Amino acid sequence: MDQTQVRRLLRRLGIAEEQPGVCHEEWAEGGGEEVEIISPADGQMLAAVRMGVEEDYDDAVYFAQRVWPRWRDLPAPKRGEIVREVGNELRASKDDLGTLVSLETGKILAEGRGEVQEMIDIADFAVGLSRQLYGLTMHSERPGHRMYEQWHPLGLVGCITAFNFPVAVWSWNALLAAVCGDCVVWKPSEKTPLTSIAVHKIVDRVLDRHGFRGVFTLVNGRGRVVGERMIQDRRLPLISATGSCGMGRRVAEIVGERLGRTLLELGGNNGIVVTEDADPKLAVRAILFGAVGTAGQRCTTLRRLFLHQSIREEFTEYLVRAWDQVRIGHPLDAKTLCGPLIDTHGVKKMEAGLAEGRTQGGEVLFGGERVELDYEGKPLLGGCYVRPALMRAHHSMPIVREEVFAPILYVMEYEDLDDALAQHNAVPQGLSSAIFTGSLQAAETFLSHRGSDCGIANVNIGTSGAEIGGAFGGEKDTGGGRESGSDAWKAYMRRQTVTINWSKELPLAQGIEFAL
Catalytic residue numbers read 265, 299
Q: Helix (H, G, I), strand (E, B), or coil: what is residue 31?
A: coil
Query: What is the Cα 389 distance to its own chain's centre?
Result: 24
Among candidates 271, 268, 291, which has minimal Cα distance to 386?
291
Where helices occur in 180-244 by DSSP H, the ranges are 193-210, 228-231
Question: What region, left, alpha or beta, does residue 174 occupy, with left being phi > 0 and alpha being psi -120 to 50 degrees?
Answer: alpha
> Which distant-in-sequence residues (6+ apart) come within 8 Å of 478 by Cβ?
245, 264, 265, 266, 267, 268, 429, 430, 431, 454, 455
Measure the CA dihedral 162/119/45/296, to 10°.
50
Whether 133 and 489 have beta carbons less than 8 Å apart is answered as: yes
Q: Helix (H, G, I), strand (E, B), or coil: what is residue 95?
A: helix
Angstrom distance (rounded) from CA 285 to CA 322:
8
Q: Helix 168-179 vs helix 109-129: angle between axes, to the nearest 10 degrees?
A: 10
**Dihedral over Cα of 152, 173, 453, 443: its sign:** positive
Give the CA distances from residue 260 to residues 187, 230, 234, 254, in Å, rounded to whole numbers and listed in that order. 18, 12, 8, 9
Whether 39 and 380 have beta carbons less than 8 Å apart is answered as: no
Q: Helix (H, G, I), strand (E, B), or coil: what is residue 155?
A: coil
Among candidates 200, 235, 229, 188, which has minimal Cα distance to 66?
235
Whether 56 and 50 have beta carbons less than 8 Å apart is answered as: no
458: DSSP letter: E
Type and span of the H or E element at 23? strand 22-23
